[in-house]
Amino acid sequence: MITASPHARITGSDTAGPSALADWRQLWRDAVTDVGQLLGLLGLEHLHNLLPEGNAGFALRVPRGFIARMRHGDPRDPLLLQVLPSVAELEQTPGFVIDAVGDMGSRAAQGVLHKYEGRALLIASGSCAINCRYCFRRHFPYGDEMAAAGQWRHALEHVRQDHSINELILSGGDPLALTTAKLKELSQGLAEIPHVTRLRIHTRLPVVLPERIDDAFQQWLAALPLQKVVVLHANHANEFDASVDAACARLREAGATLLNQSVLLRGVNDDADALTALSERLFAAGVLPYYLHQLDRVQGTAHFEVADTDAQALLDAIRTRLPGYLVPKLVREVGGDASKRPV
Ligand SMILES: *Cc1c(COP(=O)(O)O)cnc(C)c1O
Ligand code: SF4
């Protein structure tokens, strides 16, 4: 569904007429941040008094287009469970920590994580259009700009000096939270670094706020003289609709290879039918499954964890039902390793 939000027209955030796409920044601001409002939209008001005080310390945030893909009246909806605060988040579970993957130990420069050979990862932005309850980000109150601060100066300097880096990964937060003008600053800087031949973007925005892939962004991506990979993040087939398909098509038209990473989440996608449907739906949108991550052991997320033996059994099951190219790699991130670790 493409929403020309009436709110966007009232505030006159751009010159578009009523039939044009709403501006993505306006849709970003229109996201639901109040639990009562979210439950009201879904006919689930009765759940309100079961939820934790103060959203268990991590704000609720969901774009309206994503809410529109949830099933009305279903408290077990797989999209809702990814965003709804739960009292289970208040439990202190041994082994579940604040910095689960040791990111703080691999900072190479402001906003740069350089752990793996050949590729450097930029924490381009600390913002996201959606707050996913299982995310490590719940414990990092990032500023709005990370590597992007000061025209990307420190990040680009690190990359310029290390000729072993041929792939730059924009991650976050969500790097597409940045304006296209900010991304242009980066591509101008990269033009002077010939050893970088590939740009990879890790983003959930084409799924949760597909309007972000607007004309200006598509043109920027298409004009980049680099190989382009966009790694989406979807966990369930229901996250896709025609607006997401359209965003994926635009990314492919701009020359990007599209991959997806998912997190294996108890109650959301931990059954063979859901994982099979996800792979099939990804492929229908022109996206190949890449990684299926075992949950990072982040405090407040233990209720989402799936045991390794169960995860392996699920992979065995979907392998018998899908072509090999639609079976994601089951991995876990372990601090200090030279790559993601196969489970
Ligand atoms: C996950 C990750 C990457 C990308 O790893 P791939 O296996 O190439 O997808 C790169 N840098 C860091 C710091 C990462 O955490
Ligand atoms: S970084 Fe990704 S998983 Fe975490 S809150 Fe943002 S969109 Fe969700």
pLDDT of residue 54: 95
- Could you tell which of 99, 121, 202 is best to mutate to test the pocket of ligand 1, judged by most ligand atoms within 8 Å of the CB? 121
**What is the rounded distance in angstroms from the CA atom of residue 118 to the CA atom of residue 97?**
29
pLDDT of residue 270: 98
- Residue 66, helix vs strand vs coil: helix
pLDDT of residue 104: 66
Smallest CA-to-CA distance from 80 within 236, 210, 314, 227 is with 236
- The one-character DSSP state at 269 is T
Residue 109 carries which side chain, given as an amino acid letter? A
In our burial notation (b when 16+ CB lie closer than 10 A, e otherwise), range 288-324 reads ebbbbbbbbbbbbbbbbbbeeeebeebbeebeeebee
Q: Which is the CATH superfamily of the domain at 104-342?
A: Aldolase class I (3.20.20.70)
**What is the rounded distance in angstroms from the CA atom of residue 323 to the CA atom of residue 289?**
11
131 lines ligand 2 (CB under 6 A): yes
pLDDT of residue 6: 36
- Residue 214, helix vs strand vs coil: coil
pLDDT of residue 19: 40
171 CA: nearest ligand 2 atom: 1
Contact 176, 203 (CB under 8 A): yes
- The string of DSSP letters for 109-149 reads ETTEEEEETTEEEEEEES--SS--TT-GGGG----SBSTTH
Kindly list the distances between the CA atom of residue 84 and the CA atoms of 78, 148, 158, 228, in Å, as whole numbers in the listed order: 10, 30, 39, 33
The continuous run of DSSP H or E covering 36 comes out as helix 35-41
Ranges of each domain in the chain: 18-90, 104-342
Is position 248 annotated in a ligand binding site? no
293 lines ligand 1 (CB under 6 A): no
What does the pLDDT profile of the chain (343 residues) look like in tens digits?
333 333 333 333 444 444 446 799 999 999 999 999 999 999 999 999 999 999 999 999 999 999 999 999 999 999 999 999 999 999 999 999 988 777 766 788 888 999 999 999 999 999 999 999 999 888 876 665 588 887 899 999 999 999 999 999 999 899 999 999 999 999 999 999 999 999 999 999 999 999 999 999 999 999 999 999 999 999 999 999 999 999 999 999 999 999 999 999 999 999 999 999 999 999 999 999 999 999 999 999 999 999 999 999 999 999 999 999 999 999 999 988 999 999 9
End-to-end CA distance of the chain: 37
pLDDT of residue 296: 94
135 lines ligand 2 (CB under 6 A): yes
172 lines ligand 2 (CB under 6 A): yes
Smallest CA-to-CA distance from 131 within 28, 238, 251 is with 28
pLDDT tens, 144-162? 558 888 789 999 999 999 9
- Residue 278, helix vs strand vs coil: helix
- Residue 292, helix vs strand vs coil: strand
Is position 132 annotated in a ligand binding site? yes
In our burial notation (b when 16+ CB lie closer than 10 A, e otherwise), range 42-52 reads bebeeeeeebb
pLDDT of residue 120: 96
**What is the rounded distance in angstroms from the CA atom of residue 112 to the CA atom of residue 106?**
8
pLDDT of residue 312: 98
